[in-house]
């Protein structure tokens, strides 16, 4: 696994949309760029320090020619990705430190700060290239030397943690530390959001879409994945998926080239593990990478989310690059097997057609033989239907034989297997506790009823009425 030492804690990463280049924002306020190859070998392109305060978030333009950096200094810097020079600086664009920035359209940016303020603005152009600024309900000429904010939203009262852009609807989904999620329509002139969820009583830290945007997954401080259904509205989540032992600080969708991309996400947790989690049905696919005891802050995939490298950063002053082909090699193998099987099926169909054409002359002479074969097959099928457990036993035996044969590579993977088992255990704990509770309730019911009947019988046969009733009530309360 390639590792890039940066010399300082990393707050955010951003990949070039079309080149093998990655940018990192550091705690010291610096921004570094690294170029990497197909094997993950990297070299530093440039290192610049536009501010002395921490750089918290990065975003690139659509063509990757410029890089936007924001952070604790309440300013936004525009860097040339080819030379690393600061092309433009906007000071004091927020009254609080800026926590997140995201590019929505080629000329539209959004930023969110620690006070919960969200601002939408157009990207800065050169003074040599004056343009029209569209305020969505009117157009006016503007001076690029005096940039202005198009929209400002103050419906959140705690830090802005993440953004998600819905391209078809032109809507911006915002998550906040105040425990709510909001949806902003950037085309509307209303000062408030289009929708605002109820308080989820938990900090909402990250957001990612699945199933083509039909569902939205939100990572929370308590390690629960909150599921929002866009067709059901944004008022409240429709499902909650527990399992992570710590907070889910970063979420990332798989590239669309993988068959399971519609329901599989990557989750970066504060326990230092980057997991691959499948939803609907919920299943832990495995651990992608391990940062040890350092929390994972950001996760991103190169080439605008369509590449093969996933980068993850934490508090360990290191950028870890993981090749998704190695993680999901089984899935790629299954797809190739399916293609081979489909090709074999086509070939067998052609052979059957040839055999049918050549065997038409002998069809009348072989009818009795075919009838006998059909009767034999029917008897065999009925026997198998009567004893399905035999087939299952054979399958389990074959699977156990296959597993027992793969012992040669067990030693170098012991650590990874232990980590995966511990992670899977987190997803199983909830189901096991639920099953144990149901067993206790089913067992305690008959015992309590039997004891109550015994006391009632003794009450009518011998003894006063009140002491027996009092004893029965106390016994019922205890159980």
Q: Which of 331, 357, 383 delimits the end of a domain? A: 331
Residue 180's CATH number: 2.130.10.10
Task: Please tell me the predicted confidence (pLDDT) of residue 439.
Answer: 53
CA distance linking residue 200 with residue 234, whole number of Å: 12
Domain-embedded: residue 368: no
Residues 6+ apart with CB under 8 A from 161: 99, 100, 112, 175, 176, 177, 203, 204, 205, 206
Kindly report, residue by residue over 334-387, the tens digit of the pLDDT.
544 544 555 555 545 554 444 444 444 444 444 443 443 333 433 443 343 334
Number of domains the chain is built from: 2
* Whether residue 316 is found in the same domain as residue 438: no
Task: Please tell me the predicted confidence (pLDDT) of residue 341.
Answer: 53
Domain-embedded: residue 239: yes
CA distance linking residue 394 with residue 161, whole number of Å: 52
* Whether residue 161 is found in the same domain as residue 55: yes
CA distance linking residue 346 with residue 340, whole number of Å: 10
List, edge to edge, every strand of the sheet that includes 181-185.
160-166, 171-176, 181-185, 195-196
Q: Are 4 and 316 in contact (CB under 8 A)?
A: no
* Whether residue 325 is found in the same domain as residue 434: no
Domain-embedded: residue 338: no
Domain-embedded: residue 414: no
Q: Are 152 and 118 in contact (CB under 8 A)?
A: yes
299 closest CA partner among 314, 285, 284, 287: 314
Domain-embedded: residue 345: no
Encode 377-411: b = buried (16+ Cβ within 10 Å), e = exposed.
Answer: eeeeeeeeeeeeeeeeeeeeeeeeeeeeeeeeeee
CA distance linking residue 384 with residue 462, whole number of Å: 63
Task: Please tell me the predicted confidence (pLDDT) of residue 351.
Answer: 47
Which residue in this structure is represented by tokens 């072989």? 366
Note the Cα 455 to chain centre separation in Å. 57
Kindly report, residue by residue over 121-165, the tens digit of the pLDDT.
876 554 334 333 333 332 223 233 346 778 899 999 999 999 999
Q: Are 190 and 162 in contact (CB under 8 A)?
A: no
* Whether residue 210 is found in the same domain as residue 99: yes
CA distance linking residue 50 with residue 233, whole number of Å: 42
* Whether residue 276 is found in the same domain as residue 138: yes
Q: Which domain holds residue 55?
A: 3-331
Q: Which of 269, 299, 331 delimits the end of a domain? A: 331
Residues 6+ apart with CB under 8 A from 214: 229, 230, 231
Domain-embedded: residue 203: yes
Domain-embedded: residue 360: no
Task: Please tell me the predicted confidence (pLDDT) of residue 252.
Answer: 97
Q: Are 292 and 272 in contact (CB under 8 A)?
A: yes
Domain-embedded: residue 357: no
Task: Please tell me the predicted confidence (pLDDT) of residue 132.
Answer: 35
* Whether residue 23 is found in the same domain as residue 162: yes
- Residues in the chain predicted with pLDDT less than 50, given as ranges, are 126-146, 333, 335-336, 338-339, 347, 351-413, 415-418, 430-431, 433-434
| 108 strand-pairing partners | 105, 122
Structure tokens at 154: 């103050």
Q: Which of 295, 313, 331 delimits the end of a domain? A: 331
């Amino acid at each position: 696994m390639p590792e890039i030492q940066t010399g300082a804690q990393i707050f955010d990463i951003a990949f070039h949309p079309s080149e093998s280049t990655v940018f990192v924002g550091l705690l010291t306020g610096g921004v570094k760029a690294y170029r990497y190859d197909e094997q993950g070998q990297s070299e530093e392109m440039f290192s610049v320090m536009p501010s002395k305060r921490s750089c918290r978030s990065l975003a690139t333009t659509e063509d990757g020619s410029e890089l936007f950096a924001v952070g604790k200094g309440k300013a936004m810097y525009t860097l040339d990705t080819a030379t690393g020079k600061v092309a433009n600086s906007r000071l004091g664009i927020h009254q609080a430190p800026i926590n997140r920035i995201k590019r929505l359209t080629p000329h539209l940016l959004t930023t969110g700060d620690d006070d919960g303020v969200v601002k939408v603005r157009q990207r800065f152009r050169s003074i040599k290239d004056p343009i029209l600024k569209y305020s969505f309900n009117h157009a006016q000429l503007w001076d690029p030397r005096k940039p202005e904010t198009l929209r400002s939203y103050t419906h959140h009262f705690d830090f802005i943690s993440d953004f998600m852009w819905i391209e078809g609807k032109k809507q911006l989904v915002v998550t906040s530390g105040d425990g709510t999620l909001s949806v902003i329509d950037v085309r509307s002139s209303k000062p408030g959001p289009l929708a605002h969820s109820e308080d989820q009583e938990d900090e909402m830290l990250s957001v990612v879409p699945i199933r083509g945007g039909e569902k939205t997954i939100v990572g929370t401080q308590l390690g629960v994945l909150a599921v929002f259904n866009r067709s059901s509205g944004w008022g409240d989540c429709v499902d909650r998926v527990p399992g992570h032992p710590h907070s889910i600080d970063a979420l990332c969708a798989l590239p669309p080239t993988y068959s399971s991309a519609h329901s599989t996400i990557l989750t970066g947790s504060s326990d230092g593990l980057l997991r691959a989690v499948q939803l609907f049905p919920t299943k832990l696919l495995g651990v992608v990478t391990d940062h040890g005891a350092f929390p994972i802050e950001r996760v991103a995939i190169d080439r605008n989310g369509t590449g093969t490298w996933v980068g993850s950063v934490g508090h360990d002053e290191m950028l870890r690059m993981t090749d998704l082909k190695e993680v999901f090699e089984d899935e790629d193998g299954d797809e190739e097997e399916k293609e081979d099987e489909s090709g074999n099926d086509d070939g067998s169909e052609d052979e059957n057609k040839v055999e049918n054409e050549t065997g038409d002359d002998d069809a009348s002479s072989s009818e009795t033989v075919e009838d006998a074969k059909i009767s034999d097959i029917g008897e065999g099928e009925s026997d198998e239907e009567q004893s399905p457990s035999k087939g299952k036993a054979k399958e389990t035996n074959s699977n156990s034989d296959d597993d027992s044969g793969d012992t040669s590579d067990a030693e170098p993977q012991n650590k990874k297997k232990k980590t995966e088992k511990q992670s899977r255990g987190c997803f199983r704990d909830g189901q096991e506790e639920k099953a144990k509770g149901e067993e206790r309730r089913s067992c305690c019911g008959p015992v309590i009823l039997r004891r109550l009947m015994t006391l009632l019988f003794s009450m009518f046969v011998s003894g006063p009425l009140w002491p027996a009733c009092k004893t029965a009530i106390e016994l019922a309360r205890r159980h």
